[in-house]
Structures are given as structure tokens and as C-alpha cells.
Amino acid sequence: MSSGEVAGRGGGPERVRIRVEGIVQGVGFRPYVHALARRLALSGWVGNDGRGVFIEAEGAAEDVARFQRELPGQAPPLAVIDRISVTAIPVLGERCARGFGIVPSRDGGRRTLVSPDVATCADCLAELFDPSCRRYRHPFVNCTNCGPRYTIVRDVPYDRVATTMASFPMCRACAAEYGDPGDRRFHAQPVCCPRCGPVLRLLDGRGGEVAGDPVAGAVAVLRSGGVVAVKGLGGYHLAVDATDAAAVAVLRSRKRREDKPFAVVVADVAAARRLCVVGGEAERLLVSPARPIVVLPRRADAAAGCPAVVEEVTPGEGRLGVMLPYTPVHHLLAAELARPYVLTSGNVSDEPIVHRDGEAVERLGAMVEAFLVHDREIHARAEDSVVVVAGGREIPVRRSRGYAPLPVRLARPARRAVLACGAELKSTFCLVRGERAFLSPHVGDLESYETLRSFVEGIAHFRRLFGVDPRVVAHDPHPEYLSSKYALDLEGVDLVAVQHHHAHIASCLAEAGEVGPVIGVAFDGTGFGADGTLWGGEVLVADLEGFTRVAHLGAVPMPGGAAAVRQPWRMAAAYLDAAFAGSAPEGLAVRERNAGLWDRVVAVARSGVGSPLTSSAGRLFDAVAAIVGVRDGVTFEGQAAAGLERWSDPAEEGAYAARVEAGRALVIRGDDLVRAVVADVLDGVDGAVVSARFHNGLAAAAVAACALVREGAGPSGAGSGLGTVALSGGVFQNGLLLSRVVGGLEERGFRVLTHHRVPPNDGGISLGQAAVAAAWDAAGPR
Ligand SMILES: [Zn+2]
Ligand SMILES: [Zn+2]
């Protein structure tokens, strides 16, 4: 932040024009400025425009100086100030109207930042449950410090007329609060009350109105085992009683979601503690204004007297995604139901979350017994964000509601505006204007028309919101990704293809505000490699301009391509065949379980037909998970690897040895790990020990590879002397592997960069692409 202070000349009057940029709209910034100016007896005004907040202030020189000094320091809690610039202008004196006012918003430039949505604050929550308050049980209570933002904003500047609250004229009481600088609701754009605000209603599955109190009615449906569609901030959710196994099973079959975990809402932190182990950082995240789903270890001792969350919510999982209520409706449901409830995106399988009222009845009607809806329109989708805690720090898994569209500041600003289109799974896009990279909310797996439409609409909305007309477009080199096809179809732009794992490492650099070079370890499922094989266990020496592949896992065939992703036992077959040179030992359970197809799959792997070579760390995890007996098939990405992590005994210190061999690039011998796993499995060593030794062994091999690169053992000595390692890729959501790799690297004196603001998985790819494309464009004219 740069803050120029205009020097005072004695006590004579002065006038300054101040511009404040950052998250300064919809967070109570103008009332704050107003109060500060009045306290210092200044005259002038404050207003919003497309770039942020503009101020003119006049008064005694020392007061004007003090105003500038204090302005950034006491800003409202939700404000994020990027820059303050000050210009001295002629004093108006007599001609200046007395007092300080808030003036109407001006449009211009569209450079402002839009705030993410904010969970109901403590003051509003108190009002919600206070019978003497006029907003008692009002499902839309909000104030300057909380409430909907991004999801209701149609345009900037952020004013009520540019939101979906435009159709709700304020009543006299609300207008009085809105206009009173001393009130918590002063210029709170979504302010409303039972007399003037949106109305909550309960509908049956066909959309017919149900009489009576809508919350009580919805709770009755939940209690009877029914599914309720609940209109939330960024879309419709599906809710069921999380203590009712039959209800959860019904939800699973209707949503066609076999065993992917659901998240639950609990009333407060105390309730979360009854279900899960909640550490300090987890508690901070649970109660934070962003209110993400926090994935927590379940308590082994299900607390007595507390209704248990049934196993069907998270089949086979030792962990549970927990979230506290973040809208008044969620609070009312939690209080009235008095037990945890499942809250999952309102969609079928992996489609985008439903957010329009018309679509809701059409697409969700067959899945629910009732709809809990209202007439405040959702303008932009935002699914719930998901975070995990590892090493006492937040790691985003899905960055969406509550976080988007907060920008990441790039160390190397873009010369021209950039659009980065992301990859395929967990898709996001990213727009860059100058030094700010606006990462979209989670769009979903870009594999269907519905998701593609959501992606395209999202880009259009962001372009309008941030006034960006991209001239440089970054994309994944994979020709079949819909995001690549979208990019390649654009006209009049410069295209930049950014290799998948380079983008991963660049995303880690970008969120840290660094430019490299670093040694980057990118472990993930699979991405299009520069040599035509599928990469995913890569060590790169990378900066924002480019990369050298200095080490990687040894490549093995992926028998049947995508089939091998769904059936980890196929990877076990391929790895065993490679590790034992065609004569894998007898007696392995994985082979017996899949005896019918085993030989054919091995033959497919050897033939190379439909069996691309891959150096993927995710596929190595799959193979080991199948050999250890975690699972042979998966219904969602990363399921087998997550299972292997869960099985591991974190106290186990033993590690399998894997060679790191010189070649064109260093080769990490994953097959060494597989042979060691097999030996222990055949010896009857406990699965928890085998899993842990595998994690420890892979981590040690990655650390060894980094150390060799630093010593100059990489191709052409690339990376020689580098002391920083960046870790990225979806595999680093694995807390055990992450902690082992970080620990090993730090022991060897490396500085380690990990993800804390954007996901290590493909949800962060667009940020990395954007940073690379911005650096490419900044490198010079072409
Ligand atoms: Zn509030
Ligand atoms: Zn009102």
C-alpha cells in the first residue's frame, strides 16, 4: 500500500482528494470514512465509483493530515485496502458546503473489487433469536458486517440498484437505519426486514405452496426422513437429517452419488467438537466469515447424548466435512432441528449447482419432498468452499463461496488483460488486470454441456464485473479439455499454452507473491506432458517464464487409460508387471480379487495399445492402495489415495527405499516402492504400517531428488544451488505425505512453499496459467 501524506502548512485550511482501492465496497467503508471525517470536523464527501472509494476532505491542515494517517489503520474488519493515493487540491473554503456527506455512486472504470459473501455476524445472530427485536427470526437479517455480496451483485459499483435486492424497496424503518451514519446498517446494501425484505416460503416437490411457518415445515420434512432443497447464498442445496441413515441413503440414490462424502452443518463449535477433533486453526476456520466446510478427523468416541452422524454420510471415511451455519436460514434450521444436517450442492452428480428458481423445480423436483425458497434472486453461483488443516495451517481444497472473488496479487503484473481457462477437473478460470488475479469460484468438472455453460457464463460475469477485456488467453495444452477448446476458439487474442505441472508450480509461486526460480515438486493425477506421455510425478526447475523437467517418477503404462483411473487395481497390475519384470509373485489378494481380467489387463499394458505411459504419483498411490487392499475401484478422483492416507499409522517411522537414478532427467524408482510394499504385504505386515512406510518412502525419494538437483545432478545442472522448493498438485492434499516432504526438505535446509490460498489441486491451475501468461506478455512486445 502506498500512502502519500500531503504536508501541512501550519494550521491553515487544506483540501485533499483521496482515492482508496481494494475491497472497500459493501464492507462499511463509506460510513467509516464519514465517521472519521466528522470526528475531525472535516467537510467534504465520500462516495463509491467503479474504482473503489473517492474522498474529498477539507479542514485544518493538522486535521487533514491526521485523517490521512488514521484512514487505513481503523478500517472496517472486512475491508482490504490495496492502495491509497492522495492529491492536494484547491481549498473551497466558503464555497464548500458545511459538513461531511456521502454522495451518490458514480460509474466509471469498473476497477473496483467485489467482496465475497460473508457469514451472518454475531450482532445479527443475536437479533435473529431475540424476540424483542424487529428482525426476530427474519431469515434475511444482515448488516454492513455480514450478508450476501458477490452472489447478488449484478454490476459495479456496489449499490443496491446493482444487486438482486433492487426489487425490494426499503421500508421507512430500514431506510432510517440505512441513512443513519451511527447505525450498523448505514449504507448496508442488502438491508431489509420482515416488512420490506424477501419472503421465505415452503413448497412441495412440485412447486405448490405449503401453508404455515416455512422453517417449521421444512424441519418437519427433515424429521420425517425427507429431502429438502434449501435456497442458499450461491445456489440450492439438498438437506437431510444427518442422523437418519435411511434419509441419507435416499439422498445418495436420488443424487446418484455413490459414496463421495457429504458435509454436515452443526449449530456451533461445541457441536462440532462432539463429532470431531477440532484444533485451533480448524476452529478459526469454522467461525471465520468465509465459513468453509472444514474436513476434520472424526472422534473415535462418539460423544454420549449427542445424536450420531450416521456412517452413510461419509462411508468408510475417518473424516467428516463440517460447516457452521452461514445464513440466517441455516441458523434457523439448525436451531429448530437441533441435530446435524447434511447440506450438499443441489445438482445431479457432478453438474453445476442449481441457482435459478425456474431451474430448481425442474431439475431438483424429483429429488426432494420440499423446497425452502425465497424471492431474492441469486445472480452468481458459488458453491461451498472446502478446506483441510495440515501442519496447523489451512489448505484450500475448493476455493469458492466466502473467498471468491478476492484477488491474488501477482508479483509480476500483466501488461495486457489475461484470461486463464484452467484445466478440466475442479475447473476454475482466472482473469488478470494489472497486478490483480481474480480467480473464479469453483465451476466443477468441465466434462458436460451444463458445466461448460456455467464456465462461459462465469467468464462473461467476471469480465463485466472487473471491466476486463482479455487480450492474452492461457490454456492447458491438452487438446481434448473443453477449457482448451474454448480458448482455441477465441479470436483476436494471443494464446499461451501452459504445461499442466508448470501451471501447478506457478500457482504456488503466484499465491506466495514470488517469481522463482524454484525446484517445484508437482504430484497429481495426470496432466499432458511435454513429451506426449502423461505426467504427474514431476520435479521441475521452474520460474514464471518456463521450466526444465529435472526428475520424475519412472513411467508405467496405464492399462485402458481412463479405465485405470476408475479401477486402481489396473494400476496395481501394471506396476506389478513392471516391478517384477513380468513375473509378479503369487499370493497377492489384489490379483485373486481381479483374477478374471488380470491377465488381459497385463497384456493390454504390455501392448501399449490404449495404455499411455504415465509418471503420475496419483496412479502410484492407486496401485499401492489396491495392493494393500484399500480398494480396487473408485467413484471419485483421489478416493484410493485418500483411503491409503487414512489407513496409515502416523507413528510409523519406517520408510521404503526408492532409488533416484541418473538419466536424461533423474528417475525416481516408484517400482522400488512397489516391490517393498509387496514384500511386506506377503509377510503379513499390518496395512497401516505398509501404508505409512510407502508414504515415508515416497517422501524421502522426493526430498532426495530435490537435494540431488540442488547439487547439480539434474540435466545440464539445471537448478544447481537453488534453495527453495514449491510443492503443488492434488496429491499434496494428502496431509501425511505433505508433512513428511516438508519435514524432510526443511531438515536439509530448503525453504518450502506450500498452498494456503488456492488449492494445490487443479482448482488452482488457472492462477498458475495466468501468472505464466502475464509474465510472458510482460517480457516484451511481439
Ligand atoms: Zn450482521
Ligand atoms: Zn424494512
**Type of residue found at 91:** V
Alpha-carbon torsion, ordered 101, 107, 108, 109, to 10 deg: 110
CA of 138 to the centre of ligand 1 (A): 12
CA of 26 to the centre of ligand 1 (A): 12
CA of 332 to the centre of ligand 2 (A): 20
- Do residues 759 and 398 lie in contact, with contact meaning Cβ atoms separated by under 8 Å? yes
CA of 233 to the centre of ligand 1 (A): 15
- Do residues 733 and 397 lie in contact, with contact meaning Cβ atoms separated by under 8 Å? yes
The reported pLDDT for the residue numbered 303 is 52
Least reliable range by pLDDT among 15-19, 255-259, 532-536, 573-577: 255-259
- Do residues 481 and 446 lie in contact, with contact meaning Cβ atoms separated by under 8 Å? yes
DSSP state of 554: P
741-755 in b/e form (b: 16+ CB < 10 A) is bbebbeeeebebbbb
**pTM of this structure:** 0.92
Q: Which ligand is nearest to the CA of 198?
A: 2
Segment 598-611 shows an average pLDDT of 95
Q: Which ligand is nearest to the CA of 78?
A: 1
CA distance 604 to 607: 5
Q: Which residues contact 474 (CB under 8 A, 6 or more apart)?
A: 418, 419, 420, 421, 487, 495, 496, 497, 498, 766, 769, 770, 772, 773
Q: Which ligand is nearest to the CA of 195?
A: 2
CA of 195 to the centre of ligand 2 (A): 5
3-state secondary structure 583-624: CCCCCCHHHHHCHHHHHHHHHHHHHCCCCCEECCHHHHHHHH
CA of 338 to the centre of ligand 1 (A): 23
Segment 572-582 shows an average pLDDT of 96
pLDDT tens track for 86-142:
999 998 876 555 788 888 777 654 556 788 999 999 999 999 999 999 999 999 999
Q: Which ligand is nearest to the CA of 191?
A: 2
CA distance 778 to 449: 35
The model's confidence at residue 305, banded by pLDDT at 50, 70 and 90, is very low
CA of 48 to the centre of ligand 2 (A): 24
CA of 118 to the centre of ligand 1 (A): 9
Question: Which residues sit with Cβ closer than 5 angstroms to ligand 1, an ion?
Answer: 121, 124, 143, 145-146
Alpha-carbon torsion, ordered 482, 485, 490, 491, to 10 deg: -170
CA of 145 to the centre of ligand 1 (A): 5
CA of 143 to the centre of ligand 1 (A): 4
pLDDT tens track for 424-472:
999 999 999 999 999 999 999 999 999 999 999 999 999 999 889 999 9
How many CA atoms lie less than 13 Å away from 701 in the CB half-sphere? 30
Closest CA to 481 of 537, 546, 528, 440: 528
The model's confidence at residue 159, banded by pLDDT at 50, 70 and 90, is confident
Q: Which ligand is nearest to the CA of 183?
A: 1
Q: Which ligand is nearest to the CA of 197?
A: 2
CA of 178 to the centre of ligand 2 (A): 10
CA of 331 to the centre of ligand 1 (A): 13
Give helix then strand counts, H and E, for the chain.
Answer: 23, 31
Q: Which ligand is nearest to the CA of 193?
A: 2
Q: Which ligand is nearest to the CA of 127?
A: 1
Q: Which ligand is nearest to the CA of 28?
A: 1
CA of 191 to the centre of ligand 1 (A): 10
Closest CA to 41 of 55, 72, 62, 18: 62
The reported pLDDT for the residue numbered 4 is 44
CA of 164 to the centre of ligand 2 (A): 16
CA of 167 to the centre of ligand 1 (A): 21
Q: Which ligand is nearest to the CA of 125?
A: 1
Closest CA to 627 of 592, 582, 583, 672: 592
Residue 1 has pLDDT above 50, yes or no: no
CA of 184 to the centre of ligand 2 (A): 14
The model's confidence at residue 146, banded by pLDDT at 50, 70 and 90, is very high
DSSP codes, 710-751: HTT-SGGGTTTT--EEEEESGGGG-HHHHHHHHHHHHHTT-E
How many CA atoms lie less than 13 Å away from 52 in the CB half-sphere? 18
307 backbone dihedrals φ, ψ, rounded to 5°: -60, 125
Residue 782 has pLDDT above 80, yes or no: no
**How far is residue 218 CA from its own chain's centroid?**
30
**How far is residue 208 CA from its own chain's centroid?**
36
Q: Which three cell numbers stand for residue 232?
A: 442458499
CA of 243 to the centre of ligand 2 (A): 37
CA of 94 to the centre of ligand 2 (A): 39
Phi-psi region of 252 (alpha: psi -120 to 50; beta: other; left: phi over 0): alpha
Q: Is the four-CA dihedral 604, 607, 612, 616 of positive or negative sign?
A: positive
CA distance 696 to 744: 10
Segment 595-606 shows an average pLDDT of 96
How many CA atoms lie less than 13 Å away from 21 in the CB half-sphere? 17
CA of 146 to the centre of ligand 2 (A): 17
DSSP state of 49: E
CA distance 442 to 425: 10
CA of 23 to the centre of ligand 2 (A): 27
CA of 289 to the centre of ligand 1 (A): 11
Bridge partner residues of 20 (DSSP): 53, 84
Q: Which ligand is nearest to the CA of 147?
A: 1
CA of 336 to the centre of ligand 1 (A): 21
Give the chain's radius of gyration (CA, Å): 28
CA of 405 to the centre of ligand 1 (A): 20
**Type of residue found at 225:** G
CA of 35 to the centre of ligand 1 (A): 19
Question: Which residues sit with Cβ closer than 5 angstroms to ligand 2, an ion?
Answer: 171, 174, 193, 195-196
Q: Is the peptide bond before 405 cis (omega within 30 degrees of 0)?
A: yes
CA of 581 to the centre of ligand 1 (A): 65
pLDDT tens track for 311-353:
999 988 889 999 999 999 999 999 999 999 999 999 877 788 9
Q: Which ligand is nearest to the CA of 138?
A: 2
CA of 168 to the centre of ligand 2 (A): 9
CB neighbourhood size of 609 (10 A): 11
Strands lying side by side in the sheet with 472-475? 407-409, 436-439, 430-433, 418-420, 472-475, 494-497
CA of 135 to the centre of ligand 2 (A): 9
Residue 2 has pLDDT above 70, yes or no: no
Average pLDDT, the chain: 93
Q: Which three cell numbers stand for residue 344?
A: 450438499
DSSP codes, 400-448: -TTTTTPEEEPSS--SS-EEE---STTB--EEEETTEEEEPPP-B-S-S
CA of 210 to the centre of ligand 1 (A): 30
pLDDT tens track for 195-244:
999 999 999 988 899 999 999 999 999 999 999 999 999 999 999 999 99
The reported pLDDT for the residue numbered 97 is 59
**Residue given cell 514464471 in the structure block:** 544
Angle between helix axes 568-579 and 617-628 (nearest 10 degrees) is: 90
CA of 123 to the centre of ligand 1 (A): 6
CA of 172 to the centre of ligand 2 (A): 7
